Amino acid sequence: MSQVPSELRYTKDHEWTRDNGDGTLTIGITDHAQEALGDLVFVEVPEQGREVAAGEACAVVESVKAASDIFSPLAGTVAEVNGALADAPERINEDPYGEGWIFKLSPSEGSAFARLMDADAYARCLDDE
């Protein structure tokens, strides 16, 4: 069974979002997603400073199996990106909720985070698959 940390929020596209408490959110893919994709071999992170809409494709992860778009869960500005993934995409497999984070977002609306799926809802979503 894949891990679903309770303090994070989720999307149906198997991404997680963490509220950093400093006005930024960190975004990555879930344990379930990395397991389904298999070994990650390439990550294209968004440009820092890019403005993104909610649901906009802004990054790509490619595994041995396939390429997948990463969608911004909320509207905002890309505040920081995980440059280490360029040389070590396997960090997403090894530590999807930690070292494998993909980018940080400054959301344009502060309260939007709370509207994302909580861990229980995401776990149910996984059960339905």
Site residues (vs other proteins, CB under 8 A): 38-39, 41-42, 44, 60, 62, 64-67, 93
CB of 35 to other proteins, least distance (A): 8
Q: Which is nearer to other proteins, 60 or 112 (CB)?
A: 60
d(CA 69, CA 11): 13
d(CA 86, CA 12): 26
Q: Which is nearer to other proteins, 65 or 124 (CB)?
A: 65
* Residue 4: exposure state from Cβ atoms within 10 A (0-12, 13-18, ≥19): buried
Q: Taking a C-beta distance cutoff of 8 angstroms, is the pair 5, 111 a contact?
A: no
CB of 10 to other proteins, least distance (A): 22
CB of 76 to other proteins, least distance (A): 24
Sign of CA dihedral 44, 49, 51, 54: positive
CB of 34 to other proteins, least distance (A): 11
d(CA 82, CA 84): 5
Q: Which is nearer to other proteins, 53 or 66 (CB)?
A: 66
Q: Which is nearer to other proteins, 19 or 50 (CB)?
A: 50
